[in-house]
Amino acid sequence: MTLRNIRLGALVVAIGSLAVGIVMTLTEDHHEKAEITIGEHTTRTAGGLTFNIDTIISTLVAGALVLLLGFLARRALTKDADDHVPTKLQLIWEAIVGQVNKQVEDNLGKVHPYAAPLAISLFFFILFCNWLEILPTELNHDTHLLPAPTADTNLTYALALVTIVSVWVYGIRTKGAKGYFKHFFEPFPVMFPLNLLEELIKPVTLALRLFGNIFAGGIMLALITLMPIYILWAPNLLWKGFDAAIGVIQAFIFALLTVLYFAMAGAGHGDDHGGHGDEVADLDDHVGDDEAASAERTPVPAS
Amino acid sequence: MALPAILTQLTLAAEEGEKETSNFLIPNGTFFVELGAFALLFYLLARYVIPPINKAMEARQDAIRAEFEEVEAAKQQASSAEEEYKTQLADARKEANRLREGAREEGAQIVAELREQGEAEKARIVESAHAQIAAERQQALASLRAEVGSLATTLAGRIVGESLEDDERSARVVDRFLSDLESFEVAKAQDGVG
């Protein structure tokens, strides 16, 4: 199909939808505009806990997609050992894995066997969760089959918790409990409340940044659907394209910040990082020494 | 006692409306599901997907590195072979030059030797020719002397009618004639020169 054909097709679709829209608005009664509600989920309650079913379903879908692609890539690269030509899927995975590994190596001094897979998993999972928003699965205003699960704080809180606990554990393992908690009192003991606050705010900002961006994307889509149907498709198309980019950027930011928090926890206070080359180098050496021992204790084996 | 009551009340309240609007910043039970889901995803990816990808990437990098090393080695081998070829060529040229030079010298020597030999041969031949000529001349002179004398005396005897059979006298006459002849020839030669 040539570019000319695509243009022609787009033009036909545009004119057609415009005509249909005009006819529909002229013939139908003006029904009441649905009110945009936020934080509304289909819920089930079990054992005293409320579960957002739609979020859970879309989480499962996103997770299943990531796993499917991951295992397809794994099959592609373990299938034929003699053939060095990688498949496209494999190349995508390798590009992401390579980038994250490089980030982790730059910031942590080596490809950490826990931090790197965590950042990779976060990136892919968040990316697919965000992109579910683009699928037009909202049957009517009350039934959205696959809302972006990242537009639910439950998911983002969970991811942030995993991240921050991993960072704390990494920091304590790298510098020892004493060394790790000492940095709360640096550069002056007076700074302790601020340092503590910073450490506690980190996961909250991680979670709410992601949630806010994707949630706002959903609200934008809802606002766009309030427009007359003959004009609706244009901003909808534009916004979904933009939303896809936001989805990538937010996934990237979450993964990158995870790596940076690991680096901060390993190298002392954030302000010191990169400031004094010698100190960082020393710490990096120290990290390298400790990792040999701690790698065995990491919950996820490196290979 | 109070807690179960509250819980059942909450449950009832939740069941009353399927769609329930709550504060979206407060997590609920979904949180744990999400935690478990992500933990499972993370475990599966980190255990089964990412290590083989890393391994494949490293393997490919190693393969490419090895290939480049091979190429480098081949290049070096080729250049060393070229070097060797060049030195061999130069050696061969030198050898050829040396051989040519030797051959030329040898040729020159042979020519010189032959020339010398030829010279000697020539000299010998000339010498022997000279000697032969001298001998023949001597012989001719002797025979001439003997025959000319007798002829001349016979001739003169016939002319004067007097026998000149006296050997002593005839010999004297012939000798004088011959020496006159010689001196005449010498004078003629000197005149020619003069």
Greater model confidence, A41 or B113: B113
| Interface residue of A37, A38, A41 to substitute, partner B, most B CBs within 10 Å | A41
The winner for highest mean pLDDT among A19-28, A143-152, B59-68 is B59-68
- How far, rounded to the nearest angstrom, does the alpha carbon of residue B96 sit from its chain's CA centroid? 5
Whether A238 has a pLDDT exceeding 70, the answer reads: yes
The winner for highest mean pLDDT among A3-7, A141-145, A178-182, A274-278 is A178-182
Are A120 and B45 an interchain contact pair (Cβ–Cβ within 8 Å)?
yes
Whether B111 has a pLDDT exceeding 90, the answer reads: yes
By CB neighbour count within 10 A (0-12 exposed, 13-18 middle, 19+ buried), where does A87 fall? middle
Are A43 and B18 an interchain contact pair (Cβ–Cβ within 8 Å)?
yes
ipTM of the complex: 0.72
pLDDT number for residue A1? 55
**Which two three-digit tokens encode residue A19?**
């005509």
Task: Report the C-alpha gap between B148 and B123 in whole angstroms.
Answer: 35
Closest approach of A122 to chain B, Cα-based (Å): 8
Q: Which residues of B touch A114 (CB under 8 A)?
A: 46
In terms of CA atoms, which chain A residue is nearest residue B19? A42
- Break chain A down into helix, strand, coil percent, rounded to 5: 75, 5, 20
For chain B, give the mean pLDDT.
82
Are A56 and B34 an interchain contact pair (Cβ–Cβ within 8 Å)?
yes
Q: What is the largest CA-CA distance in chain B?
A: 208
Whether A104 has a pLDDT exceeding 80, the answer reads: yes
Q: Is B19 helix (H, G, I), strand (E, B) or coil?
A: strand
Task: Report the C-alpha gap between A25 and B41 in whole angstroms.
Answer: 47
Residue spans of alpha helices (H) in A46-191: 53-79, 88-108, 115-131, 153-182
By CB neighbour count within 10 A (0-12 exposed, 13-18 middle, 19+ buried), where does B152 fall? middle
- Mean pLDDT within B101-112: 94
Are B24 and A59 an interchain contact pair (Cβ–Cβ within 8 Å)?
no
Q: pLDDT confidence of A257, banded at 50, 70, 90? A: very high
Count CA atoms closer than 13 A to A181's CA, side-chain side.
2
- Mean pLDDT within B107-122: 92
Q: What single DSSP character describes residue B163?
A: -
User: What are the boundaries of each domain within chain A?
Assistant: 40-297
B54 touches chain A (CB under 8 A): yes
Q: Which residues of B touch A50 (CB under 8 A)?
A: 14, 20, 22, 28-30
- Mean pLDDT within B153-166: 69
Residues 6+ apart with CB under 8 A from B71: none
pLDDT tens readout for residues A27-69: 655 454 556 666 677 777 877 788 888 888 889 999 999 999 9
Are A70 and B60 an interchain contact pair (Cβ–Cβ within 8 Å)?
no
Closest approach of A84 to chain B, Cα-based (Å): 7
- Break chain B down into helix, strand, coil percent, rounded to 5: 90, 0, 10
Q: Which residues of B touch A93 (CB under 8 A)?
A: 49, 53
pLDDT number for residue A160? 94
Whether B76 has a pLDDT exceeding 90, the answer reads: yes
A216-225, B4-13, B179-188: lowest mean pLDDT where? B4-13
Greater model confidence, A140 or B175: B175
The pairing of strands A49-52 and B19-21 is: unpaired
Amino acid at residue number A297:
R
pLDDT number for residue B38? 92
pLDDT number for residue B68? 94
Closest approach of A90 to chain B, Cα-based (Å): 8
Whether B61 has a pLDDT exceeding 90, the answer reads: no
In terms of CA atoms, which chain A residue is nearest residue B24? A39
pLDDT number for residue A299? 46
- Mean pLDDT within A95-108: 90
Q: Which residues of A touch B57 (CB under 8 A)?
A: 94, 97-98
pLDDT number for residue A290? 42
- Mean pLDDT within A278-298: 41
Are B49 and A37 an interchain contact pair (Cβ–Cβ within 8 Å)?
no
pLDDT tens readout for residues A142-201: 667 778 888 888 899 999 999 999 999 998 988 888 888 888 887 788 888 888 898 899
A155-164, B1-10, B50-59, B156-165: lowest mean pLDDT where? B1-10
pLDDT number for residue A185? 83
